Amino acid sequence: MSGTGKRSAGLLLFRHTDHGLEVLLGHMGGPFFARRDAGAWSVPKGEYEPDETAWDAARREFQEELGLAPPEGEAIELGEVRQTNGKVVTAWAIEADLDPGTVVPGTFRMEWPPKSGQMQEFPELDRVEWMGLERARAVVVKAQATFLDRLAEHSD
């Protein structure tokens, strides 16, 4: 799936609970996603340049987006997907438990309101939540649902 478009990499944490398999997703921060649920959740991930490996980028972006060190453990390759915006996302799953209350999200700056000349700072992720696969499929960026399917196949 390689190409000249933008590339992102991320880590999808998962855990087994009495309610079944759960994954940790982040709700994208900023004004565009503030009132959205469906399609506004994502694997914690970020863009990287050709001089960095996808694996190194996934671990770095986890740290930047969540403010926590990426967990150690066996990494399950979930492969790549191409999102509707053309971005290719590579992900790995790692079994780990994380308290969403310990997350200290990174931030980004953008002009808001548009054409106002005012720069505002927003969290990369405005909340992080454990959810079962059914809910996760309903709210995650559409292309990333493939990662959930691949994880479920691996966990069977």
- pLDDT tens profile 54-90: 999 999 999 999 999 999 999 999 999 999 999 999 9
75 touches 102 (CB < 8 A): no
Bin 150: left if φ > 0, else alpha if -120 < ψ < 50, else beta: alpha
pTM higher than the cut 0.85: yes
- pLDDT tens profile 93-151: 999 999 999 999 999 999 999 999 999 999 999 999 999 999 999 999 999 999 999 99
**79 CB neighbour count, 10 Å cutoff:** 12
AA identity, residue 70: P
Would you state the pLDDT for residue 5? 79
